[in-house]
């Protein structure tokens, strides 16, 4: 049966818009550390979208290889094109060439729709907020609910005019930007809800005529900031962290056009790596290594705490399951890899002790209120799950046997992909609105089914 998330499968039921997760009856004992399950995942969304913007800021053509083509990246690419940047796109080869204009936006007026892409929403807003022009910005209903106010306030402090329609909420999409360059050489931004506000300002900071200083308020895992700074440096611009809350970009630096290879998406890889303890099989994701730019590689260290063994081989990191069947519950701060909080929560009921996840208060403000979503869906399965009423940024999940149910995804791709893992050990788990995976990994369930076929055998 054909449907809107990219392939044919009898596990999708169009009448209810649900995907029935296949639960393997038996796992092949032939798999060992010498013969792991090998999976390939698409390119990184975070790196793809950063590279697209950095390529526009460079002077001349940059060729991006290994590009992720998904809802988010297509929205970002379309915005780049509608701003007048010349592009050459080859989806089959996963290559995009962007001709950068050295910090100048070709079109001085444009209407842009960023969809649900948080990177496009925040990064383009910062760039256009200091550009000379008038830009009409809009987004999906989901993105219209996500916070933008801290970034918009920083832009207003620099002299950007932000206009809202009469029925629009201040600090949210939609709005109109009238940029007037850098009215200040030092600003403050609150990153309590999203580190993307800081990444967005850092990327565009080198366009200032004088040294530019950003002071940070609030707290947030800084892994994505590290990625941003490393990629800026790869394209030729260095920013310094002169204090824990202060970043300075020296004037006179320029991004350089280049050929750029995009890493596999570690966030996507983690769903398959989680199968190592869950299904007691060795798993290797091609070309994923510990020197990755992506903070979610820290999730593999959590799997190690649960009893797995990690080996960084030339072909990719190998995760070996615990020596004995079963795995340990853990208490972990996931601020550095919060996109994997759902992944850990989905497998936690099968651990031999409770799992406590801390440092994730900000995930309430992502594609969904992810803490609420995790707790609601686990309780629906009959799993005891408690929120910390004091910190509001941690949850504890207790071991149990999940009951069959339909998992609501809240139009959140990570809820769909993460809770599919629970269904690999619990017959009768279905995922509602599986098409939301198009945001980052449109053929996720196809890849998952292929992986299951490799490890399953008839009972």
Which residues are marked as active site?
339
Q: Is the four-CA dihedral 75, 76, 77, 80 of positive or negative sign?
A: positive
Name residues whose C-beta falls within 8 Å of residue 457's C-beta, 6 or more positions apart in sequence: 26, 27, 28
Query: Are 232 and 256 a contacting pair, CB within 8 Å?
Result: no
- Coil vs helix vs strand at 401: coil
Query: Are 60 and 345 a contacting pair, CB within 8 Å?
Result: no
Q: Find the angle CA(283)-CA(284)-CA(289) to the nearest 5 degrees.
A: 135
Cα-only R_g, the chain = 22
DSSP code at position 322: P
SS3 string, 119-139, reads HHHHHHHHHHHCCCEEEEEEC
Assess whether the previous peptide bond of 401 is cis (omega < 30° from 0): no
Name residues whose C-beta falls within 8 Å of residue 291's C-beta, 6 or more positions apart in sequence: none
Please state, in angstroms and as integers, the Cα–Cα distance from residue 364 to each residue in 133, 146, 432, following that order. 34, 10, 20
Token pair in block for residue 324: 């004995």
Can you tell me the distance from the alpha carbon of 206 to that of 228, in angstroms, rounded to the nearest whole number?
Answer: 13
């Amino acid at each position: 049966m054909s449907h809107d998330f990219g392939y044919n499968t009898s596990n999708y039921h169009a009448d209810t818009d649900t995907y029935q997760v296949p639960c393997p009856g038996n796992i092949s004992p032939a798999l060992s550390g010498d013969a792991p399950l090998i999976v390939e995942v698409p390119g990184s969304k975070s790196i793809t979208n950063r590279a697209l913007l950095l390529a526009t800021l460079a002077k001349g053509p940059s060729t991006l290889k290994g590009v992720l083509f998904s809802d988010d990246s297509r929205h970002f690419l379309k915005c780049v094109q509608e701003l007048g940047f010349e592009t050459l796109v080859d989806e089959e080869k996963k290559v995009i060439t962007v001709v950068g204009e050295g910090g100048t936006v070709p079109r001085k007026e444009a209407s842009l729709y960023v969809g649900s892409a948080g990177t496009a929403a925040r990064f383009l807003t910062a760039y256009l907020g200091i550009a000379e022009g008038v830009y009409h910005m809009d987004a999906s209903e989901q993105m219209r609910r996500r916070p933008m106010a801290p970034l918009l306030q920083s832009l207003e402090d620099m002299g950007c005019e932000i206009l809202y329609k009469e029925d629009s909420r201040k600090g949210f999409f939609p709005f109109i930007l009238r940029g007037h360059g850098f009215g200040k050489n030092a600003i403050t931004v609150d990153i309590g809800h999203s580190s993307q506000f800081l990444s967005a300002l850092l990327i565009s900071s080198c366009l200032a005529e004088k040294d530019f200083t950003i002071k940070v308020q609030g707290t947030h895992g800084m892994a994505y900031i590290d990625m941003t700074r490393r990629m800026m440096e790869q394209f030729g611009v260095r920013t310094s962290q002169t204090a824990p809350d202060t970043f300075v970009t020296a004037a006179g630096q320029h991004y350089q056009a280049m050929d750029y290879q995009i890493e596999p998406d570690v966030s996507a890889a983690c769903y398959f790596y989680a199968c190592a303890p869950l299904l007691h099989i060795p798993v290797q994701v091609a070309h994923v290594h510990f020197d990755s730019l992506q903070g979610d590689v820290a999730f593999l260290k959590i799997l190690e705490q649960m009893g797995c063994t990690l080996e960084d081989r030339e072909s990719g990191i190998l995760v070996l399951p615990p020596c004995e069947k079963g795995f340990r519950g853990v208490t972990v701060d996931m601020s550095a890899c919060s996109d994997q909080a759902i992944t850990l929560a989905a497998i936690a009921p099968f651990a031999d002790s409770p799992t406590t996840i801390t440092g994730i208060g900000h995930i309430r403000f992502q594609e969904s209120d992810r803490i609420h979503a995790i707790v609601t869906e686990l309780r629906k399965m009959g799993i005891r799950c408690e929120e910390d009423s004091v910190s509001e940024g941690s949850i504890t999940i207790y071991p149990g046997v999940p009951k069959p149910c339909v998992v609501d995804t809240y139009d959140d791709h990570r809820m769909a992909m993460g809770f599919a893992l629970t269904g690999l050990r619990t017959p009768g788990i279905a995922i509602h609105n599986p098409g939301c995976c198009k945001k980052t990994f449109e053929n996720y369930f196809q890849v998952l089914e292929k992986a299951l076929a490799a490890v399953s055998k008839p009972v």
